[in-house]
Amino acid sequence: MSNTTMHRAPEVHEYKAEMKQLLHLIIHSLYTHPEIFLRELISNASDALNKVRFRELTGQAVLDSGTPLEIRITLDRNAHTITVEDTGIGMTKDDLINRLGTVASSGTLEFVKSLKEQGKTLDVSMIGQFGVGFYSVFMVADEVVVETRHAEPDSIGLRWKSDGKGSFTIEDIDKPTRGTRISFRLKDSATEFSEEYRVRSIIQKYSNFVDFPILIASQGSTLQKVNTIRALWQAPKDTINPDEAHEFYKFLTHDYQSPLGYLHLAIEGSVNFKALLFIPATPPVRPFILDNDKSLHLYTNKVLIEEHCKHLLPEYLRFVRGVVDTDDLPLNVSREVTQSSPQMAKINKVLTSKILGLLHDWSAHDPDKYQRFYTAFGQQLKLGINTDTANRDQIVQLLRFETTHTAHGSLRSLKEYVERMNPEQQEIYFLTGEHRDTMLNNPNLEYFQKHSIEVLLLTDPVDIIIIPTIGEFEGKKLVSIDKADIRTVAASSQEQKEPSMLDSALLALFKEALGDKVEDVVPSKRLVDSPVTLVVGKEGMDAQTERMMKMLDKTFKGGRKILEVNMEHPLIRNLSRLQLAQAGSPLLRQYILHLYEGALLLEGNLPSPAIFIRRMIEIMTDATR
């Protein structure tokens, strides 16, 4: 059969500038792993086969209906050539121009560039995590020819040719069969990829679980199947071994590391499905650029119907990767219908509870593993507190925090905290901040430290959002130590002492000097080593929240605080004496202002360090006179 297309001269197209840049970066970053090109070509072929299989199964007309769905690789070790051919969906002219010649994700280029700027290069741990795509073929070839014909019955054959540098050409050709054939001669540095043993081992490493037969022929031999096609998730539960599961995970995600763990589910009941789910060991290198669109693969009866089906999991569990296969969804319904189907909601619910169950299991029986998980994905998990009301209590149980009583980096659950509390302690105390070290020097902690009361150290910005939602745990309220009323903390341990005349006079001077900068000035019960500190009044917000608000809104002024004064502190005593000796001294007011601004500085909320420093210099000049 021959096409009666008029053959015109090849059309020349220029690459977009960013394509050239990306290509340059790929070649120079990945040169240590040139074999990646084969994974990329096979993975594109597999996508194309999936698409055509889907069309056939949903009753749409396709060219060469019934032709075997397969990938054929032909090698010639003498001529150093490779051909990778598939019987997939093929490409239209528009596809060749707009898909093959463009960067798949706008984030890719920026990411690679920013790595370059930081003096880093892509390494094998990163390349796995995003498709470098078709263009990686130019690592091993100087010129590539793509011959393709789309599966639409009235399509035409096309040849695309390029050296991957400035431009590519497209021309019409006679191609009777659908699918894509990619061929090229290997560069001298890459001739190993025309050796059959080498190609086999690459396929076994990267592409063993491809859903379609991969056939190899070299030097004119007959085609032989290389991969083991096995829908692993369909295997009876407990029959797959961890090595096999890990292999499958690596194939699926392109992660080079083994997963932290996996779940193999076979659910029967009001909804029926099988699933093989994995929890990665580390988060993707750039979670917010590319991987926000990664999710579980949805199959129905072994046929892939959606590559990243976001509706299978709540967002806070989207770090989970894997496959779900159900017979309960019809193949030929639109994606929108699939998404809103009750089956989907049921699967989502079952998966959520199984995953949370697995995490509970780790937290109870394998704390090390759980800590590794939590370090990698804890922040994402926490978001479930505010979004998944049904499972909130379960997620709260999974939270872990550093505290004043843990070593740096080790974590404690709220349950453990409550179990260790003194019987009289009524509340769970926390402090928010950016770094453990600075937090430990917070004057507001002194009382708690002195009395050995454990305080949660919340360094994750997400904590500020979830703490109010949690509210209380096992009947104990979560209270910021910036707000805690020390009288309740101290309970019976400290009797109330009326301030002396001298103290009252000094406090009055503080109030006068600070004016409406503060809500009030009161003698402190929480301070041990520091002279003053700022605490939150009845309606105020804690220092960390205030800092966050200021970051979001430059004009945000924050509420007034209460200044607490440690009447026992030597400096405060000295001020008292100074007031007695020379009540009108302007220096006294300078000292008071300085103490106040020092407290602001410690909180991270001092608006003008310059004024603070100028005053400090004046005071020191005076003191050294």
Residues at the site binding ligand ADP, with contacts judged by CB under 6 A: 40, 44-45, 48, 86, 88-91, 95, 99-100, 104, 131, 133-134, 180
Residue with smaller CB distance to ligand ADP, 86 or 463 = 86
Residue with smaller CB distance to ligand ADP, 133 or 314 = 133
Smallest distance from the beta carbon of 121 to ligand ADP, in angstroms?
Answer: 21
The pair phi, psi for residue 373, each rounded to 5°, is -60, -45
Query: How many other CB atoms sit within 10 Å of the CB of residue 511?
Result: 17
Structure tokens at 273: 């499905």
Residue with smaller CB distance to ligand ADP, 18 or 503 = 18
The pair phi, psi for residue 412, each rounded to 5°, is -135, 145
Residue with smaller CB distance to ligand ADP, 182 or 588 = 182
- Is residue 265 within 8 A of residue 273, CB to CB? The reply is yes
- Is residue 477 within 8 A of residue 394, CB to CB? The reply is no
The C-alpha angle with vertex 235 and arms to 232 and 240, in degrees rounded to 5, equals 70
Residue with smaller CB distance to ligand ADP, 98 or 389 = 98
| CA pair distance 95, 90, nearest whole angstrom | 9
Smallest distance from the beta carbon of 476 to ligand ADP, in angstroms?
Answer: 51
Residue with smaller CB distance to ligand ADP, 55 or 517 = 55
Smallest distance from the beta carbon of 183 to ligand ADP, in angstroms?
Answer: 12
Those residues whose C-beta lies under 8 Å from the C-beta of residue 523, and which sit 6 or more positions away, are 499, 503, 507, 564, 565, 566, 567
What are the E-state strand segments in 59-129? 71-76, 81-86
The residue number whose beta carbon is nearest to ligand ADP equals: 133
Smallest distance from the beta carbon of 161 to ligand ADP, in angstroms?
Answer: 15
Residue with smaller CB distance to ligand ADP, 321 or 526 = 321
- Is residue 80 within 8 A of residue 194, CB to CB? The reply is yes
Smallest distance from the beta carbon of 292 to ligand ADP, in angstroms?
Answer: 16
Smallest distance from the beta carbon of 154 to ligand ADP, in angstroms?
Answer: 18
**DSSP per position, 379-418:** HHHHHHHHH-GGGHHHHHHH--BEETTSPTT--B-HHHHH
What are the E-state strand segments in 190-268? 214-218, 224-225, 261-267
Smallest distance from the beta carbon of 281 to ligand ADP, in angstroms?
Answer: 24
| CA pair distance 394, 149, nearest whole angstrom | 53
Residue with smaller CB distance to ligand ADP, 90 or 280 = 90
DSSP assigned state of 315: G
Strands 455-458 and 402-403: antiparallel
Smallest distance from the beta carbon of 63 to ligand ADP, in angstroms?
Answer: 13
Smallest distance from the beta carbon of 34 to ligand ADP, in angstroms?
Answer: 16
| CA pair distance 43, 32, nearest whole angstrom | 20
| CA pair distance 524, 566, nearest whole angstrom | 5
| CA pair distance 541, 432, nearest whole angstrom | 11
Smallest distance from the beta carbon of 397 to ligand ADP, in angstroms?
Answer: 39
Closest CA to 409 of 401, 417, 420: 401
Structure tokens at 367: 């704390």
| Partner residues linked to 182 by β-bridges | 84, 146
Residue with smaller CB distance to ligand ADP, 26 or 383 = 26
Residue with smaller CB distance to ligand ADP, 180 or 218 = 180
Smallest distance from the beta carbon of 267 to ligand ADP, in angstroms?
Answer: 32
Residue with smaller CB distance to ligand ADP, 95 or 211 = 95
